[in-house]
Structure 1
Amino acid sequence: MKHLFLTAVAAASLVLPVYAGEPAPIPSPGEIAATAPASDWIAIAPSDLLVMDLAPDAKGKARRVVIQLMPAPFSQGWIGNIRKLAAAHWWDGTSVNRVQDNYVVQWGDATEKKPLPAGLATVSESEYVAAPSASMLDTLHANRKRKEQVVKQWRASQPFAIYTPDTRKKVDAYSDIQGFVSGWPIAGGSEIWPVHCYGAVGVGRNLSPDTGSGAELYTVIGHAPRHLDRNIALIGRVISGIEHLSSLPRGTEALGFYKSEAERVPIASIRIASELPAVEQPRFEYLSTESDSFARYADARANRRDPFFITPAGGADICNIPVPVRPVAAK
């Protein structure tokens, strides 16, 4: 009943007039992203999208999952392998084999006997991290400075009282620094690495020194398992269709593996989007993490002031600031 009441209140707020003298509504993070100018959005190249089509569900409905591959300098050896695997149609006929509650969904060849394409690279554990370039550090520093300036100016321009967050330093339990570069959340210090947020896609592996080829992949469907950072290669993130994975029945065997072949979810195909016919290529864009809109959005995620919230948190873990991604209509 509480949810119905809140829904009714929210609906009513859309139609009631705003009278002169009333304080303007405080925008939510989603509203800030939705009103960002077109110039603040960056198109994702089809060549950087991995399209996974699962077998239709029990009602015959198509199930498509779209993964954005990570840019350099991260995980490029594994991503090169993944491009070769997709070009060889290697995943066609494989399956989703593991669904562990509040953790991951994993897919690949359940038999572990399917031959891999020739020419796959063996990637070193050293590639789990990257050395930050001067330009990347400059970007992180500039983003932080710009956010402070943008947010200060934005708060001063608003016709309503704005919560002033706690200015004490917020410490990330897993790294010395955290931030965004080219649309991706990263953490680190003297070295940097991508982080395991919800929807992050990584490479399954056996015990060290094995690092996985990229043939076995997983995505996070629970609380961000940041302890996996620097221990497994991250190669991308699900940007569409995560519900087709997160809603699957949980496996009953150890680590959430399915017990029988009948429980596994068949994979019809996995392709790089640029290999599909132009009319079938999914198109997406993300909100530039170097934009003023993102600075306001990130501040709003850390300090919720919209009507539902009573006490703004005064900070946010990097995984609680998901980079907005939206589909783009074909031209």
Structure 2
Amino acid sequence: MKHLLLSAAAALSLAFPLHAQDAAPPPSPGEIVDAAKPDEWVPIAASDLLVMDLAPDANGKARRVVIQLMPAPFSQGWIGNIRKLAAARWWDGTSINRVQDNYVAQWGDATEKKPLPQGLATVPEGDYVQRVPAAEEAQLGRLRLIDAYAEAVDVEGGWPLAQSGDLYWPVHCYGMVGVGRNLSPDTGTGAELYTVIGHAPRHLDRNIALVGRVISGIEHLSSLPRGTGALGFYATEAERVPIASIRIATDLPPAVQPKFEYLSADSASFAKYADARANRRDPFFIKPAGGADICNVPVPVRVRPK
């Protein structure tokens, strides 16, 4: 009898090799990204990286912020100005002069008296948006995310974009970098920049030029003391954080140029990642949300493996 019972148990184990509790849990978004294949990652050119070194913190620790500049066709007039400003070393000696809670950290010349380099372009307001190329029109919206600010949203070329009709534009997600300006028709030169450090202020879309995103070092901006003046501006010079330098990465020695890459939105891993962001099935979650905001599907960026 004992032999028969053992044989029956063995047969059952062959028929049902895994119990429900033994099944591997669905992967988290981070685990999907970690498992992405090497050829699913896209290198970011050093010529598209803006490197901002702040003065060391109170403990003498270096503070570096790396910004990826927006690719064509978006905001190229302002980005051309930014390249000229960096080449002229215009930002050296300026400062972080505004940190508004749940909104932005902003930098530039707090005195507003520093002469700008010659040859900066005046960019029209029409360049806040671009016309969708006919070949791409059918693709925008493939993530099928519902959006309150546009007819469709998507990640294209590694960037979060929105579309209404035949126009599209980049959107204000956390870490995106934009151009400070005065009242319309002023559009800003690019000398005054900010990054989003709070909930995505999507109401700014199509009202201000977006020129890039912080891909490393956002903590050096988001953790700064909030400004005590109106709109989060620092009321005194002592409160401001000095900027040691801002350079295009190709102007740095090759050995210290930052090297990053992003997960292609056309890859199979990105599709799985986006689905997992919208439908968390990993063990902590009880109820999948069934959807996501475009800013809740941030494009994964990592240091390029050696």
Asked whether the two chains share a fold, i.e. TM above 0.5, the reply is: yes
- Alignment-derived partner of residue 214 in structure 1: 190
- CA displacement 1:38-65 (0-9 Å, x = unmatched): 0000000000000000000000000000
- Alignment-derived partner of residue 261 in structure 1: 237
Cα drift, residue 139 of structure 1: 3.9
Matched, 1:200 2:176: yes
Matched, 1:172 2:147: yes
- CA displacement 1:301-326 (0-9 Å, x = unmatched): 00000011111000000000000000
- Alignment-derived partner of residue 130 in structure 2: 130
Tell me the distance in 2 between the aligned counterparts of 1:170 and 1:52. 34
- Alignment-derived partner of residue 310 in structure 1: 286
Q: Is the 8 A contact 1:136 1:181 kept in 2?
A: no
- Alignment-derived partner of residue 157 in structure 2: 182
Matched, 1:72 2:48: no
- Alignment-derived partner of residue 37 in structure 2: 37
Cα drift, residue 170 of structure 1: 5.5
Q: Is the 8 A contact 2:73 2:130 kept in 1?
A: yes
Tell me the distance in 1 between the aligned counterparts of 2:293 and 2:78. 27
Of 214, 224, 227 in structure 1, the residue corresponding to residue 200 of structure 2 is: 224
Cα drift, residue 175 of structure 1: 0.2
- CA displacement 1:2-56 (0-9 Å, x = unmatched): xxxxxxxxxxxxxxxxx95411121000100110000000000000000000000
Cα drift, residue 244 of structure 1: 0.2
- Alignment-derived partner of residue 53 in structure 1: 53
Tell me the distance in 2 between the aligned counterparts of 1:68 and 1:258. 26
Q: Could you say which structure has the higher helix fraction?
A: 1
Tell me the distance in 2 between the aligned counterparts of 1:47 and 1:218. 20
Tell me the distance in 1 between the aligned counterparts of 2:251 and 2:137. 35
Tell me the distance in 2 between the aligned counterparts of 1:186 and 1:170. 12
- CA displacement 1:248-274 (0-9 Å, x = unmatched): 000000000001001000000000001
**Closer, same or farther: CA 170–55 of 1 in aligned 2, 3 Å:** closer
Q: Is the 8 A contact 1:33 1:294 kept in 2?
A: yes
Tell me the distance in 1 between the aligned counterparts of 2:117 and 2:136. 34
- Alignment-derived partner of residue 107 in structure 1: 107
Which consecutive residues of structure 2, in runs of 5 or more, have no partner in the other structure?
1-16
**Closer, same or farther: CA 60–267 of 1 in aligned 2, 3 Å:** same
Instruction: For 1:209, give the aligned amino acid.
Output: P
- CA displacement 1:79-123 (0-9 Å, x = unmatched): 000000000000000000000000000000000000000000000
When the two structures are superposed, what TM-score results if normalisation uses the length of structure 2?
0.92
CA RMSD across the alignment: 1.3
Q: Is the 8 A contact 1:103 1:222 kept in 2?
A: yes
- Alignment-derived partner of residue 10 in structure 2: none
Instruction: For 1:172, give the aligned amino acid.
Output: D
Instruction: For 1:186, give the aligned amino acid.
Output: L
- Alignment-derived partner of residue 280 in structure 1: 256
Instruction: For 1:175, give the aligned amino acid.
Output: A
Give the ranges of 4+ consecutive aligned residues of structure 1 lying more than 4 Å apart after TM superposition: none
Q: Is the 8 A contact 1:204 1:232 kept in 2?
A: yes
- CA displacement 1:222-247 (0-9 Å, x = unmatched): 00000000000000000000000000
Of 278, 288, 297 in structure 2, the residue corresponding to residue 321 of structure 1 is: 297
User: Could you say what secondary structure the match of 2:119 adopts?
Assistant: coil
Which consecutive residues of structure 1, in runs of 5 or more, have no partner in the other structure?
1-18, 148-168
User: Could you say what secondary structure the match of 1:137 adopts?
Assistant: coil
Tell me the distance in 2 between the aligned counterparts of 1:319 and 1:171. 12
Q: Equivalent pairs: percent with the same residue?
A: 75
When the two structures are superposed, what TM-score results if normalisation uses the length of structure 1?
0.85
Tell me the distance in 1 between the aligned counterparts of 2:296 and 2:151. 17
Paired residues, number: 287
Cα drift, residue 135 of structure 1: 2.8
Q: Is the 8 A contact 1:96 1:265 kept in 2?
A: yes
